[in-house]
Amino acid sequence: MFTLVGHGWGHGIGMSQYGALGYAEHGFGYKQILGHYFTHTHVGPLSRSATERVLLSSGPAVHFGASAAMTLRDAAGTRKTLAAGKYHLQRGGTPGRLQLVNGATGAVTKRLVAPVRISPGAQPLRLNDSAGIGFAGDHWHGSFRVAISGSSLLCIDLVGIEKYLRGVVPSEMPASWMAPALKAQAVAARSYAVATRNPSGLFDAYADTRSQVYGPIEHEAPASTAAVTSTVHRVVWYGRTVATTFFSSSSGGRTASEQAAWGTSTGQPYLVPVIDRYDAAGGANPYHNWPATTYTPAGLARALGVSGVVGSVAMTIDGPSQRILHLAVTSSGGTSTISGVQAQGRMGLRSNYFRILQRTLAAPGTAVAGHAFTLTGRAWPKPTGGVTLQRRTTATGSWQISVAHVKLGAKGNFSLALAPTADRWYRLVSAGRAVSPTVAVKVRPALTLAVKGGRFRGTMYPALPGQSLVLFKHTASGWVPVETGTAGPKGHAAFTTAPASGTWRLHYDGDATHRRGHSPALVVP
């Protein structure tokens, strides 16, 4: 069996949002939080404000409106006042031209030269198309620029960066979180927007996770707006450059570099791995540690996209970030090298901070009470905390410690001699988690039959007083029951049948915790 364990959600570069909450809960201010995640940086003011150009939607038309008059101006300078209501822009019959359609009257204004800008009056603009992560029919700060790109019309929101952040912060972090965390998010989002502006493109940012999530006015919240306002114009500086302040939901306890998270050859000097001691956020972060997922060799092959069944997995791990760089997967179909990022995508994982642990456990299916058998297994890579062997006495009972510290060899292998007196189920546990298959060993009592004092005497181990032991004789038609005795306190049963010449044996029919079985044959001359 292979067990996958992991940590975090997202690329893990820069600020962990749950980590920011954890640091806030431990009394850290927003500047301290940002200073922890972005090495050798400081928070300072921007020299001037800026406008962010955010792509809200892309499609064959742009449907918009407002509850107050608006102004439309095209690239040729044509200016038109639009009464309150609904409208849409669509492509015209001439390349580079648009048509405006009044939703109430159906009136069409033709030959507008793209791009077209719609500016609000006393009320904000409403976009009736799907925007960002699924917002529709909501209001947005700023003006709309409608541009042609291939076969699509782009609706780009031209919004001051401070109002842009009012929609970003509550979309990226719950507004109910502590103020220092919200302020850290506001400054990180502002810095990211400034650092990633794209002056040569049609827009600077997407409204979804390809940049940072931007929500409409309806999505804003007082606490997050206060965080934006109280940090107005503040950004993270690295020297004289505004830092590209990446952030993600959870680092899993250790942040990543760009090289480790994305496989790039270089990265920014302030985006280096750091220990993220409060990423668990006091237990509020459900992604700090993932639930363990188990795979059969064939199931792991399917998950990784390799042929055959997996025999072993060797992991190359980036030391500073603990992210998986490469997997060398040996299967019946050959050996494949898969990057950590590829494995993350193929397996649908939340990050590339994971481990694939090989845990095998094998034992014979049956055993005789008091007779030792060998339990073998392997734990690879060897866990730093070792492994514990647990046992239980029924298929659904509670687990108990059998061997607290299993001694592992250089390759993680081990073997143990065990001699249970009843049925047992075994599994390996590491760091409190079951990490191996459960193996069942069905145990039958040790039965002997002897002649003593001129009579047959049966013995069972362990002693199960009151259990029936049956004396059998072998005949031409097979084994035939002759007499039933009862096991006493020491497991002995006496029989009245005279030990006549022939082949005899003792049989036990089994109970809830022991298999049925019989003794070795006894030949009476």
Domains located in the chain, CATH noted: 51-161 (no CATH), 292-359 (no CATH), 363-443 (2.60.40.10), 445-524 (2.60.40.10)
The residues near 239 (Cβ < 8 Å, ≥ 6 apart) are: none
pTM: 0.79
Give the pLDDT band (50/70/90) at residue 151: very high
Percent of the chain with pLDDT over 90: 91
Question: Which tokens in the block code for residue 62?
Answer: 């742009």
CA distance 327 to 392: 35
Residue 143: band (very low, low, confident or very high) from pLDDT cuts 50, 70, 90: very high
Is the pLDDT score of 263 beyond 80?
Answer: yes
Segment (H or E) for 18: helix 17-25
Res 433 pLDDT > 80: no
Q: Is the four-CA dihedral 422, 428, 429, 434 of positive or negative sign?
A: negative
For residue 110, give the nearest of 158, 76, 154 by alpha carbon. Answer: 76
- Whether 142 shows a pLDDT value over 90: the answer reads yes
**Residue range 255-273: mean pLDDT, rounded:** 95
Residue 277 CB neighbour total at 10 angstroms: 13
Mean local confidence (pLDDT), 42-48? 93
Arithmetic mean of pLDDT, 21-35: 98
Convert the pLDDT of each residue in 181-219 to its tens digit.
999 999 999 999 999 999 999 999 999 999 999 999 999
What are the CA-CA distances from residue 403 to residues 112, 145, 147, 388, 406 (Å)? 80, 70, 70, 6, 6
Is the alpha carbon torsion for 63, 69, 70, 72 positive or negative?
Answer: positive
Could you report the per-residue pLDDT of 82-124, keeping only the tens digit for each? 999 999 999 998 999 999 999 999 999 999 999 999 999 999 9
